[in-house]
Amino acid sequence: MDNAALDITEDELPAKPTNGSHHPGDASIELRQRVAADGPAAAGGAGPKDDDYVPRPEMLYEVDDTPPWYYCIVLGFQQYLTMFGSTVSIPLIVTPAMCMEESDPARGYVIGTILFVSGIVTLLQVTFGVRLSIVQGGNFSFLTPTFTLLSLPEWKCPNPDAMALLSDDEKQELWMSRMREVQGAIAVSSLFQIILSFGGVVGLLLNIITPLTIAPTISMVGLALVRTMAIVILCSQYLRDFNILIPRCRRGADATQSRWMRVPVFKLFPILFGIGVSWLLCAILTYHDVLPADSPARTDLRISALREAAWFRLPYPGQWGVPSVHIGPVLGMLAGVIASMIESIGDYYACAKISGAPPPPVHAINRGIGMEGLGCCLAGVFGTGNGTTSYSENIGAIGITKVASRRVLQWGALIMMVFGTIGKFGALFITLPDPIVGGMFIIMFSMITAVGLSSLQFVNLNSSRNLFVLGFSIFFALVLPTYMSENKDVIKTGSAAFDQILYVLLSTSMFVAGFLGCVLDNTIPGTDEERGVLKWKSQSHMSHVTVSVTTYDLPFGMDKIRSWNWARYVPISPTFRGFPVVLNFSKPFRRCRGSEAGDEDERP
């Protein structure tokens, strides 16, 4: 396999430390080179050469690599920009339903809070959770149950005439009481997610997840959400190999050495260039009144948010008061929790694949889902009016920039936390024109869709069975949510809470696609080879001969953890080997498929 991406010379990227200090990525790069040159034996492993897993060669920085600190800051800021639009849009959507006026400065405070909490959860997820470069941000799965809750008679907003008669303190209490109700529902419902993941139940469910489950699920991330495109394409594809000469200063450097280094800026920062150039163009057109007054491309449509934002404000738990807890709203929010869990599992596989890492093991998925549950609990306590989940658009950014380093995301998380306390800076990006955000999402969601479909490389696409499972799952996942959105009262079971749960689940295209793909693939007769399970399992086993063997380990204490025998039975431990009594969910499905008794369908 061509290993061109590993031939990064000193002229292309900054040199690794040579003063005796060890660069975190040196060992992994050397091992990658040995694996590429000598095969799996060079890494101390063995196996079928044709199926051995090797990292994607086009990545500039893989998960365990550490770019220079100045690259980390800029790339982290780029990740911040990628998640900013979606995250900020959530408070702008939710706060009006809470009876908060558009001129209320508290809107900026809620925006700062959700950015601050997103930074905390991203740092926890990348460092201790799934350990992949996944950004955590606002969760759209919670919007529907939130609006359902706020549409109840006791929480409906007064008419404008009644609002005008209220004092400032009464207006503040009006929206704060609704915020506290949403906070309590999200915080308590997230405990369900924490218990399932840390208890190992999520990992057990992975026994029935196959490529034909993952492909439609991940593909629907892009197909269901897709809404500057030209500049991003220009930078990330056509100019990706064009290097910019940048001066450098090296202590004690010989005068004969080059004082310039070649940096592939268009490959590293295509999104940043695309947003910056497009934003500047929109600002110029706005300044000269070339654009109509109501054009979404104008940069002054939301300029009032910039004027009203405070310079500095530190979010804190319970800032809107003590959260309220009632059983009905909590059950309704469970729908958002379940949909978010299914979406995040698909995101983990997509991120691992696009990052050149092996598929995440069970313990990493358990920790990842658990950290998201903890993040939702923190969001409820802080009062973001929403939860947290993995951001698919940032996974697409990894595919464009070819940088999957977790260190970049750690810097990005710190940037989120800092900017979450600087109200003026955060409000500045609210002026980002909608067409720029839309163009950026088109590129990223198309990348995610392609990554999802690439899981079909393990599947026999000459099989009519597999084509039916794939086509039906994707098509029905596009049709059913549309039908549900147009017929919101179609579900009437007699229980309002259960109706709400079903409505949210059936309105989530990823849940529909993943559920159908899982059920159909595990019940329709077919061999493991036909379904792609054998090749997929072999890829998972090949992680033993790659540089990513420790990718999903905890950042410290691994020697101690390996010495504890009991840690092998802890679902979130990197040494987890399963429970003493295994609950095999795949056996009933194996009987439905008519598989032979000797087949082993369990995931490794």
Is residue 16 over pLDDT 50? no
Closest CA to 107 of 275, 302, 295: 302
Closest CA to 391 of 438, 425, 340, 354: 340
What tokens were used for 161?
């005439």
If one compares 97 and 52, the residue with the highest pLDDT of the two is 97
* Distance between CA atoms of residues 151 and 332, nearest Å: 13
CB 6 within 8 A of CB 32: yes
Helix (H) or strand (E) holding 589: helix 586-593
Closest CA to 325 of 191, 184, 187, 178: 184
* Distance between CA atoms of residues 501 and 81, nearest Å: 33
- Do the strands 136-138 and 388-390 form a parallel or antiparallel pair, or are they unpaired? antiparallel
Give the lowest-confidence range in 15-19, 221-225, 312-316, 392-396: 15-19
pLDDT band of 1, cuts 50, 70, 90: very low
Phi first, then psi, for residue 389 (nearest 5°) are -160, 175
What tokens were used for 101?
């006026």
pLDDT of residue 309: 72
What tokens were used for 39?
């095969």
The torsion of the CA quartet 63, 64, 68, 74, rounded to 10 degrees, works out to 20
Over residues 276-281, the mean pLDDT reads 79
- Do the strands 388-390 and 260-263 form a parallel or antiparallel pair, or are they unpaired? unpaired
CB 510 within 8 A of CB 224: yes
Residue boundaries of the structural domains of the chain: 69-227+302-593
3-state secondary structure of 389: strand
Beta bridge partners of 138: 388
CB 424 within 8 A of CB 306: yes
Is residue 314 over pLDDT 60? yes
Is residue 33 over pLDDT 50? no
Percent of the chain with pLDDT over 70: 70
335, amino acid identity: A
Closest CA to 233 of 442, 75, 81: 442
Over residues 148-175, the mean pLDDT reads 81
pLDDT of residue 430: 64
Is residue 395 over pLDDT 50? yes
pLDDT of residue 77: 84
Closest CA to 94 of 169, 179, 187, 180: 179
DSSP string, 493-515: -S-HHHHHHHHHHHT-HHHHHHH
CB 552 within 8 A of CB 130: yes
If one compares 463 and 42, the residue with the highest pLDDT of the two is 463
pLDDT of residue 250: 54
Q: How far is CA 355 from CA 7, 173, 348, 378, 408, in A?
A: 18, 46, 10, 28, 13
Helix (H) or strand (E) holding 163: helix 160-164
If one compares 281 and 372, the residue with the highest pLDDT of the two is 372
3-state secondary structure of 601: coil
Phi first, then psi, for residue 422 (nearest 5°) are -105, 95
What tokens were used for 344?
């995040």
pLDDT of residue 584: 56
Q: What is the mean pLDDT of the chain?
A: 74
Give the lowest-confidence range in 264-273, 380-389, 440-449: 264-273
CB 212 within 8 A of CB 531: yes
* Distance between CA atoms of residues 424 and 406, nearest Å: 28
Over residues 438-451, the mean pLDDT reads 67
Q: Which of 23-32, 127-136, 526-535, 585-594 has the highest mean pLDDT?
A: 127-136
Over residues 340-366, the mean pLDDT reads 84
Buried/exposed 67-100: b ≥16 CB within 10 Å, e otherwise: beeebbbebbbbbbbbbbbbbbbbbebbbebbbb
Does this model's pTM top 0.85? My answer is: no
Closest CA to 353 of 390, 393, 398, 401: 398
Q: Given CA atoms 396, 402, 406, 412 in this order, what sign does their dihedral have?
A: negative
CB 336 within 8 A of CB 142: yes
pLDDT band of 603, cuts 50, 70, 90: very low
Encode pLDDT of 107-149 as tens digits. 778 888 999 999 999 999 999 999 999 999 888 778 777 887 7
Over residues 50-58, the mean pLDDT reads 47
Closest CA to 86 of 378, 480, 445: 445
Encode pLDDT of 536-592 as tens digits. 766 554 443 344 458 898 888 888 988 898 888 889 998 887 776 555 555 565 656
* Distance between CA atoms of residues 162 and 98, nearest Å: 15
Is residue 25 over pLDDT 50? no
Give the lowest-confidence range in 12-21, 49-58, 274-283, 590-599: 12-21
* Distance between CA atoms of residues 445 and 428, nearest Å: 25
pLDDT band of 176, cuts 50, 70, 90: very high
pLDDT band of 372, cuts 50, 70, 90: very high
Over residues 475-500, the mean pLDDT reads 82
Encode pLDDT of 211-265 as tens digits. 787 777 767 766 655 444 455 555 555 555 555 555 555 555 555 555 665 655 5
DSSP string, 531-563: HTHHHHHHHHHGGGGSGGGGTTS-SS-HHHHHH
CB 113 within 8 A of CB 315: yes
Is residue 420 over pLDDT 80? yes
CB 320 within 8 A of CB 179: yes
Over residues 365-386, the mean pLDDT reads 93
pLDDT of residue 245: 56
pLDDT band of 382, cuts 50, 70, 90: very high
Beta bridge partners of 388: 138
pLDDT band of 316, cuts 50, 70, 90: very high
Q: How many CB atoms are located within 10 Å of the residue 594 CB?
A: 10
Q: Which of 509-513, 528-532, 592-596 has the highest mean pLDDT?
A: 528-532
Is residue 416 over pLDDT 70? yes
Is residue 29 over pLDDT 60? no
Residues 6 or more apart whose CB falls under 8 angstroms from that of 167 comprise none
CB 436 within 8 A of CB 91: no
